[in-house]
Structure 1
Amino acid sequence: MGINTNKIPDKLVVDMVNGKVVPFIGAGFSRSFGYPGWMELLKELKNKIGIKDLDNKDFENEDPLQIAQAFFQFYKEKNRQTTLDDITTNLIFKQEKDNEELRGLVERAINKEVDILLEKNFSKKMLDLVKAKEERKDWPAIEKIKKLKNIPFHYLITTNYDKVIENQIYSDAGYGVLYPGKGIELDWNEHDKTVLKIHGDVETDQGIVFTHEQYYKFMQEYGFYRNKLYTLFSTNTILMIGYGFNDINIHHTYFQFIKDYSENLGHHKKMYMLLTDFDKKEKWKSYFEYYKKYLKSYNVEVIEYTDIPSFIEDLVHAFEEEKYSANINRLLTETGNENPLRPLKSILDGTGLNTTQINERVSLNIIKAMTKFFRNPYILTEQPFDLSIDEEGIDNNLAGHILNAALAIISEYPQIAEKEEYFLFVVVALKYATADDSWNSIYVRLVQVFPVMRQLKYEHEGSDDLKLGEYMYKIFSSSHPDKYLYGYDAGRFLNSNISLFPKIYIKAFLEYVKKLIIENELSNYPSISDYWIQQIREKFQTDDKIIELCEEIDSEVKKYLDIEENFFKLQKHDR
């Protein structure tokens, strides 16, 4: 299977290049290396501690922490007397009749020591099972996953006990390892690259988090890790790989973060979760679409992929491409009048672009550079520009300077509007227009971007058309000329100017809507898109391709509605 980076969100890739992503890695990540998953571990532990009256299939869909707690309680009840005998065998204590208080203190101390020892022994039995088995290793998958080392994350968080991350992926990369019970937290240098193992490490039973009881002890006694999680969540984009959102650590920490910062988050994505075909077909099944809605309600964007190794391979490729693309120095190596640096600085400071002093080649390089600015605004904070760019990205004023420069270039060299470089510039300009989905912002930015959109003369069908369609969909689906809770101004602007859009935008929008319906992502159809599709029919009725796309959408909608109707009929019949 070839590289496919179109499913990787642009913002995630840009954030990785800017060092703003923290991976959160769960048990699914280590399976290819031969390690057991949560349920496999629990099934093996069940046999090891002597549980014989429990069928595996009766607990495999339950909360792992709850099951582990139940197994621990069984283990304590079974082994308490033996452990107590081991502790008291060599204990010499003269029980004075009149020393009841002292005897009580000793008994409580012994019982506490018994509880500690039982927990340590239980954790050791579990950790003994955290071993890679040769027959479970998937070597082609391992080679793909190992490519993750090419992304130099500053922090990696994991709930895994194994040493896959530090020993098999980032070995010799200078990462330190922190886990509860290690006792070196206060001496830790925040600037060091770190693997944060919040559930503990396979080599020690200290600080292990496996049961509900241990989790709550973790939250109460290990404030450093609790606060570190909270800080990382609030200052970074989190990428969850091989990890279920049903883990209590994530619920407690992330939900609290959402509660505290919900007013400031707005449209910004702070967490991505990878879900694979296993999650869709085996784990969640018919609930999968509703599980995604649940995640969406907490500002979690789902990335769907066949499997973890394929995702990581594509993620690394996207990172390397973006890192190469974001490097503007290659455009600034020209000498003399061929160097675009001076005109770029004039654009950015608002002086404006004097197109009579630059040739077509320099103009094209300026378009390339401005594409990079929109795609990754943070490169403007570095030399040779040293601008201040906040988390919102490029503001309306700076965008206005860039867009005006593009119009000036097309006015001087209209042939550039036919080139792929200008098409890519328009795509990222549309991304800027949709970055803030508030009604007024979409209108203001749409009016800004529309003149450069109209100049596009490039006709091409490719992967970037999907992005073009996605951004057009965001604009249309947020706008309506007279419908409550939609952008009135943007809706009226679109209504007045829809026939002026080059057809490439309309086709891309329709293709994207069709894709959403086919993939069952537009389940609320008829939606606001229905209104705009009707407007498109009227304004482009002589364009065969556009009308054909509208009819294909009608056909897909009919299929969807027929399936829904049959489903409800079956439900009614069953009742």
Structure 2
Amino acid sequence: MSASVTHMPFAIPDELVGLFREGRVIPFIGAGMSANVGYPSWDDLLECLGESLKRGDLTHDEIVELTGGDRLRVAEYYFLTEGKQVGPLRKEIHGQFKDISPLEFGGYVDLVNLGSQRIYTTNFDDLIERTYRELGLSYVPIATPRDLALSAGDQTEIIKYHGDLTSDPSLVLTESQYYRRLNFDSPMDLKFRADLLGKSVMFIGYSFSDINIRIIWFRLLDMMRGVDQNDLPTSYMVIVKPNPVEELLYRDAGIETVVLDPTGRAEPDTYPILVGDFLYELACRVSDPKIPGSDSPPFVSQTLLRRAESSPRDRMSRLFRHHDPEMLRLSSFRLPEGYIQKALGLFTSETRISEHSIIAAVSLYRSYPEHEELGRFLLRSLVTRVGMALQDSLDIDWDFLGEMHLEPDDKDKVFAKVREELNFHESGFDSELFFAASLLIDISAGKFGASSEEQENASQLLQRIDDLYPDAIEQLSSRGRGAIAEIADSYVPAEDIEGEDGEAPF
């Protein structure tokens, strides 16, 4: 997708974050979420039904016109032309859902990261269920009264409010089926009413024009008139574009709106990115470092990877050590198998070296030490100031890295760093010089693809260090990088220790 969003124009309500952390929010997912992954809209599905189930001389457009554009009546017409059999409609709808992974798109992984124990949806597809499967998580789909009766409540429940394509009797497709559901006396309706007590609902993937949500919400509120309002916290509708009239109407009904594009200027191809960014930002505030109610960190999502890849790489961001929250999260979040190659692919010759990107690289290196690009990134990191973060990492296989090729320019940076440190620290010693010296030891031994000339240069610099600080190189060679700070501390700057005559002892 070529579109991009350079900043977050929306504000996430603190109350919504707090409710999620308390486990008091029920996400209610609409067709807009499915459309974000390229699945057809309800209008598109009806058009497909019209083309495949064509009866008589009427075209789909003519049927739409004759029903006044009422989607439910259009579906009812096709239902009647098939002899009141829902099977042909269900089969055609199922065929429109492509076999794609929801992990490829922003939103679904971060929906899981919110940690809700119940997720409602009016969608017929199985994208939410598939996300749980691909992440290796257990869940219980609920589409029929039997499903409801068998659920023990110890796993995440995915409630298919309008049915599931695996069960024809559960589907709510047509006008007559929809009106029967308006009685709100089915087991699914009673469950929703019970689940709503003390809970907030976050509607996402719907618009103000969705009659579904308007009728569902107002009927439920009508049924719950006797419930104390303190047991009904504010609910939320996440929408893309603002609509001040509808916002006021919904606010009066207890639903606040979160507008992702308050200016109304976003292009349609950025809508999936806006939704993905919203769910990512919300999940980070709710579930970093751990998902509420569990001891597990969140999962890396497509949105996290996209934002890590687009992290600033210009000189000024390096100069000011730009904050890399995505890289830092990459080091602590769980990495789904489907994202491994993408995550490793973040570390290339163009990747900006920062403290957080090094931490992420080390974290990935623990699991994938054989990945060469990752190793090269760590090598490039060694010659930077922030590369010192590697000195305390006992997870680094230095012998493995030593077999890799360090570019001549990078080795020259090591030499220049040592000369600079020596000139500056003639009267003392610090861990930066020791760290650079540890690299010289490897270069002098022919590691990092060092030439004979580079080995000689490294040896000369090591001798200079040893002349100024006796036994420093021997200690470093024998004790290793993990002891750099301790060894450095043993060399007290000369100007801090004066002899009786006021001169330095050495």
When normalised by structure 2's length, the TM-score is 0.47
For the pair shown, the structure with the greater C-alpha radius of gyration is: 2
